[in-house]
Structure 1
Amino acid sequence: MLTSLSIKNYALIDKLHVEFNDGFSIITGETGAGKSILLGGLSLILGKRADLSSLKNTEEKCVIEAVFNISNYKLQSLFKAENLDYEAQTIIRREILPSGKSRAFVNDSPVNLNSLQLLGERLIDIHSQHETLQLTSNEFQFQVIDALANNEDILQAYKLELKVYKKLKKELKELLDFQADAIKEHDYNSFLLSELVEANLVDGELELLEDEYETLNNIEGIKEKLSEAYQLLNEEQIGLLPALTSLKNTLQKLSSYSLKYNDLFNRVNSSLIDMDDVFKEVDILQENLEADPNRLAVVDSKLRVLHNLMQKHVVDSVLDLITIKTQLEEKVSFTENLDASIQKKQLEIENKEAELNTISKEIHTKRTDIIPQLKEQLETLLASLGMPNAQFKIEVLYEEAFLANGKDDLSFLFSANKGGNFNDLKKAASGGELSRIMLAIKSVLSKYIQLPTIMFDEIDTGVSGEISNKMGDIMLQMSKTMQVFSITHLPQIAAKGHAHFKVFKEDVNEVTQTNLVKLNHDERIVEIAQMLGGLEMSSSAIAHAKELLN
């Protein structure tokens, strides 16, 4: 519910702050006093676009702030979805800067207009005689029926299952599309895979093969150089090993004289050991080195295969080829097993369709069962509102397709006159009739679900007498379970409010301003008497006002 509203520097409002209670609140005022300005400011809180013309003083910013108690509205999921901090006492603030820019905040967190509109429509429903399009929409009509049928939980279950069903259908389409393309590519992928499988790929093999190829391809030159190395190491006259052995023996004789000679001896001895190891390895390499034309041909062939595959697949390593081989194996395997996957997916879809059909039939049954009760309540209320011949013809027809809220096609027809033809609401009812129908529907809804604050803006235009009295009674009854505002010119309705606010203009320092004040009991008597008889109040008008209030 709306607990307070503050407006600063908006249109003819300089500064205004008013607090509201639950129940039924009346707003009255002379034509042109500024009721539309008040509604305009409130609409900015609900996400309406703003411009500089809204500013009273174009050199200062306009600030509109509303506080709502939303503890009973179950809006936690909406706040979470919009990434907002949830507070039971939620503050919405709208600012229009002199530059023309507009900013909006929910609990001090900046929000865009889309988020503000989503939240706003869950907090306040502003309804005037000219705003009845919602009533004629199929979506709203379903909401009315489902509220009475207590379908909230089962509809939620249906929507969750429908989401899964649509996902399964999408996955099946993707499988079928993939199959159509995959069949074309299957032979080519199989050929590519067989090439890679035949190559018997091993990570790191390329480097080993290239090393072996260089050895086998240059074996004579390698033999020659190894022989030279052998001679340089072990030739009796100039060999490195005999020379190092002689040097070692010489230094060994000096090593006993000084530590520095002993150090030289150790270093030469270490070098001799290393060179001896080198010599042995050269000797082994010579012995094991043999020309092998057949092996060279095998290595050359394998290298050609690997390089051709790398060039073909535009990669730089055998590891990349192995990765491609794995991907091809998955594609080929997936294609070959695609029929089984499609059959499995089709079976999942059939099972989900069965679940959805079961839920849809339950929804349909509950809707069908509640329609006579809705029809009776609406026709009874409308009879009391001066439409004794109003009749509804409401039917839900079970269809084949899964729709957003079940499988029903809704026919919501109306006839205002006895013996008249039934037609769509927007064709069968006048503007005034639509307003009374909306009041009746909102009245019925308020008994079944928690509606947001509702503000009726002069929906009583064109009615009087007992009908206006009944409209007031309906709004008063609604206010037992929700917060209701009525902007009215009718004293019969104004007298029924728990609280009464007056919109008025006044000149302050030769500047016209709009203001809103809450009237006490005596002020209400005066206001209602003036609504009855004009500014020149008679004693009978005052007595009548007191009677209405009592």
Structure 2
Amino acid sequence: MIKRLHISNYAIIEELTLDFADGLSIITGETGAGKSIVLGALNLILGGRADTKTLFDETEKCIIEGRFDIAAYDLRRFFEANDLDYEAELIIRREITPSGKSRAFVNDTPANLKVLQQLGATLIDLHQQFDTLYINNSDFQLELLDALAGQLAAVKTYRKDYQLLQETRRKLRALREEQAQAVREQEFLEFQVNELEAANLQANEQEDLEAERHRLSNADEIKQLTSGAFHFLSEGDDAVTDRLLAITVKLQPLAAGDPQLRAISERFESLRLELDEVAADLEAFGEETDVNPQRLNEIEERLNMLYRLHAKHAVADNTELIAIYENLSARLGHFSDLGGKINKLERDEKQLLKQLSEQGTALRAGREKVAPQFAGDVQKQLAELSMQNARLRVDFVPLDLPGPNGLDEVRFLFSANKGGKLQSIKDAASGGEMSRLALVTKSLVASAMELPTLIFDEIDSGVSGDVAQKMGRILTDLSRHHQVVVITHSPQVASRAHRHYFVYKTDKQDADRTITRVRELDGDERVRAIATMLSQNPPSESALKNARELIEAE
């Protein structure tokens, strides 16, 4: 609900603050005093278009600020989705600079007009003559019937399942497209996987093969070199190891009494033993090295195959090639799982369609049950509001497939005149007739569903006397469940106010200019204002008496 509206530097309003409360708030005033200007300012914080021509002082910026209590609204997700801070008290501010730049803020966070419009649609339902009212909206018409049928929770469950169906179908489309792509790719992937699998890849195989190829390619030279080295070190008449042994035999006795020479002797002995091992290793390496052209050819073929695969897959070694093989194998495995996933989703889709059909049938029954009574109640109340020939019919159009709100579309067909053709409300009702129809329909569902703050402008246009009094009673009943604000010229409607605001024009002190002000009326002031609406200014004694009777009437 709206708690406060502050307007600064807008049209003929220099500065004005309106504090609203629960129940029915009435705004009255002379023609041209600025009542519609207040609504224009309110429309700005609901996302309406801005215009610098509306600035009271063209050198200063215009500020419109609204405070709302939104604790009863489920808006946390909306605030999170739009990266806005959520507070139970919402502040929307709109600024228009003299240069024409417009800025909007939600709880002091900059916001675009789309956000304001979405918030405004939730918080304020503004009815002005010739507006396209919610009553024209098919979704609202269904919600209205569902509220009367007491099945809003069932509708919420249906919509949740409907969204799940849409998500299931989205996944199905994606998997089917992937499967179609897989059919085209699978043969090529299988060829690549089979080729890599046949290669029987080993992580360090390339390095080992390259070393073995090098040895086999130089086998003759290796055998010749290792044999000659071994002969030189260990087998010749003047073998190096024999000469070193002779030196060791002579050195050890001399080193026994000299620590420094003993250390050198020990190092010399280690060198001799190491040289013996080197000679033995050279002999063994030469004996193990075979001249094997067949094996060399096998290695060359294997390496050529590996080099080709490396180049084909743009990798440097077998480790990367093995990773590619594992990835391709996984993709093939995923493709093989697609059929199973598709089958499961198709079963889910079938089950959801069955659930939606059952739920939609139940929703249809509830709507069809309350529709005739609702149409009759609308016609009865409209007749009391001087629309005796008004007719309303609720038609249901079955859908081929479950829709977001059920198995049907709803159409409210209306005629305001005797013998008139039933047609859509927007084509059949004038501005005043639309306003009265909106008032009646919303009063009928006021206790059954949540509604935003309802603001009616000139809803009583063209009615007076007993009809206006009945309209006032309907507004009072509606305000027991929702916040209602009414701009009116009718004393009968104004008399029903829980809070009565009077908008008037006055000359600004020290300036040759007229400005709009507002004050809340109470007690005798309120009686006098309503009496003036009944007669003239100043009002007669009979008008004052009549005004008191209207205010005191139940």
Flag whether TM exceeds 0.5 (same fold).
yes
Aligned to 2:536: 534
Note the 1:509-524 alignment, pairs <5 A: 509-510=510-511, 511-524=513-526
Contact 1:378 1:441 in 2 (8 A): yes
How many Å separate the matches in 2 of 1:210 and 1:395?
85
Q: Distance in 2 between matches of 1:85 and 1:407?
A: 38
Superposed CA offset, 1:312-365 (max 9, x none) = 233333233333333433444455565554444322221221122111111111
Separation of aligned partners in 2, 1:468 and 1:27: 16
Within a 5 Å distance, the mapping from 1:18-33 to structure 2 comes to 18-33=18-33
CA–CA distance in structure 2, aligned partners of residues 38 and 239 of structure 1: 119
For 1:168, the equivalent position in structure 2 comes to: 168
User: 1:255, CA displacement in angstroms?
Assistant: 5.1
Say whether the 8 Å CA contact 2:472–2:492 is kept in structure 1: yes
Identify the residue that residue 444 of structure 1 maps to in structure 2. Answer: 444
Specify the code of the residue in structure 2 equivalent to 1:514.
Answer: T
TM-score normalised to structure 2 length:
0.90
- The amino acid of 1:398's aligned partner reads P
After superposition, what is the alpha-carbon deviation per residue over 1:183-219, rounded to whole angstroms, capped at 9, x for unaligned?
A: 3333333222221221112223222222222222232
> Which region of structure 1 is more displaced relative to structure 2, 96-105 or 138-147?
96-105
Which residue in the other structure is 1:158 paired with? 158
How far off its partner does 1:443 sit?
1.1
Contact in 2 for aligned 1:251/1:264 (Cα 8 Å) = no
CA–CA separation in structure 2 for the residues paired with 1:164 and 1:243: 93
Match of 1:204 in 2: 204
Match of 1:81 in 2: 81
Q: State whether residues 27 and 488 of structure 2, in contact with CA within 8 Å, keep that contact through their aligned partners in structure 1.
A: yes
Secondary structure of 2:141 counterpart: helix
Query: What's the secondary structure of 1:190's corresponding residue?
Result: helix
Distance of 2:214 and 2:73 partners within structure 1: 81
Whole-angstrom distance in 1 between the partners of 2:276 and 2:156: 87
For the 8 Å contact 2:130–2:430, the answer to whether it is kept is: no
Determine if the alignment matches structure 1 residue 350 to structure 2 residue 379: no
Q: CA, structure 1 residues 273+119, in 2 after alignment: closer, same or farther (shift >3 Å)?
A: farther
Q: TM (normalized to structure 1)?
A: 0.90
Offset of 1:253 from its aligned partner? 5.9
- Which residue is equivalent to 2:16? 16
Single out whichever of 166-175 and 375-384 deviates more from structure 2: 166-175
Q: Does 1:465 align with 2:465?
A: yes
Equivalent residues in 2 for 1:108-507 (5 A)?
108-227=108-227, 229-230=229-230, 234=234, 260-335=260-335, 339-507=339-507
The corresponding residue for 2:551 is: 549
**How far has the Cα of 1:442 moved from its partner?**
1.5
Letter in 1 for 2:216: L
Could you tell me how far apart the structure 2 residues matched to 1:513 and 1:58 are?
Answer: 15
- Which secondary structure state, in structure 2, belongs to the residue aligned with residue 85 of structure 1? coil
Q: For each residue in 1:146-202, what CA deviation from the matched residue of structure 2 results, as whole angstroms up to 9, or x when unmatched?
A: 222233222222222222222222333333333433333333332222212211122
Deviation at 1:385, TM superposition (A): 0.9
CA-CA distance at 1:530 after TM superposition: 2.6
In the alignment, the residues of structure 2 paired with residue 230 and residue 465 of structure 1 have an alpha-carbon distance, to the nearest angstrom, of 133
Bigger Cα displacement from structure 2, 198-207 vs 311-320: 311-320
- The one-letter code sitting in structure 1 at the alignment partner of 2:530 is I
Aligned-residue sequence identity (percent) comes to: 40
Out of 253-262 and 179-188, give the one that drifted further. Answer: 253-262
Residues 450-459 or 207-216, more deviating:
207-216
Q: CA deviation at 1:403?
A: 0.9
Residues 247 and 514 from structure 1, CA distance in 2 versus in 1: closer, same or farther, beyond 3 angstroms? farther
User: Take 2:451 and 2:317, find their aligned partners in 1: how far apart are those partners?
Assistant: 68
Return the offset for 1:45: 2.1
Q: CA deviation at 1:245?
A: 5.5
Give me the whole-angstrom Cα distance separating, in 1, the residues matched to 2:413 and 2:69. 37
Provide the secondary structure at the position in 2 that maps to 1:22. Answer: coil
- Matched position secondary structure for 1:314: coil
Distance 1:257 1:398, change over 3 A: same
CA RMSD in angstroms, aligned pairs only: 2.8
1:268/1:362 Cα in 2 relative to 1: closer, same or farther (>3 Å)? Answer: farther
Q: What displacement does 1:263 show?
A: 4.6
Distance 1:460 1:257 in 2: 133
The 3 A distance-change label for structure 1 pair 231 and 163 is farther
SS of aligned partner of 2:85: coil
Secondary structure, aligned partner of 1:369: helix
- Change in 2 beyond 3 A, CA 1:487/1:273: farther
**CA deviation vs aligned residue, 1:418-439 (integer Å, no higher than 9, x gap):** 4433222122222221111111
Alpha-carbon shift at residue 26 of structure 1 (Å): 0.7
| Alpha-carbon displacement from aligned partner over 1:91-119 (angstroms, at most 9, x marks no partner) | 22333345544433333334333223222
Displacement after TM superposition at 1:247 (Å): 6.7
Contact between 1:91 and 1:107, CA under 8 Å: does it hold in 2? yes
1:528 partner letter: I
1:118-137: CA deviations, max 9, x gaps? 22221111111121343222
- Distance of 1:163 and 1:246 partners within structure 2: 98
> Structure 2 CA distance, aligned partners of 1:238 and 1:483?
121
Structure 1 unmatched ranges of 5 or more: none
Separation (CA, whole Å) in 1 of partners of 2:48 and 2:184 = 55
Q: Could you tell me how far 1:405 is from its partner in structure 2?
A: 1.0
Three-state SS of the structure 2 residue aligned to 1:388 is coil
Q: 1:66 is aligned with what amino acid?
A: G
1:27 partner amino acid: I
Deviation at 1:387, TM superposition (A): 1.2
Q: Distance in 1 between matches of 2:227 and 2:409?
A: 98
Identify the range of structure 1 (53-62 vs 411-420) with the bigger mean alpha-carbon deviation.
Answer: 53-62
Structure 2: gaps (5+ residues): none
Secondary structure of residue in 1 paired with 2:451: coil
Q: CA deviation at 1:239?
A: 6.8
C-alpha separation between the residues in 1 aligned to 2:87 and 2:80? Answer: 12
> The residue matched to 1:122 in structure 2 has which SS?
helix
Counterpart amino acid of residue 522 in structure 1: D
Q: What is the rounded CA distance, in whole Å, between the counterparts of 1:523 and 1:424 in structure 2?
A: 44
Query: Aligned partners of 2:82 and 2:367: how far apart in 1?
Result: 32
Q: Secondary structure at the match of 1:414?
A: strand
Give the whole-Å Cα distance in 2 for the aligned partners of 1:171 and 1:43.
Answer: 42
Whether contact under 8 Å (1:367, 1:396) holds in the other structure is no
- Assess, with a 3 A threshold, how the Cα gap between structure 1 residues 179 and 107 changes in structure 2: closer, same or farther: closer
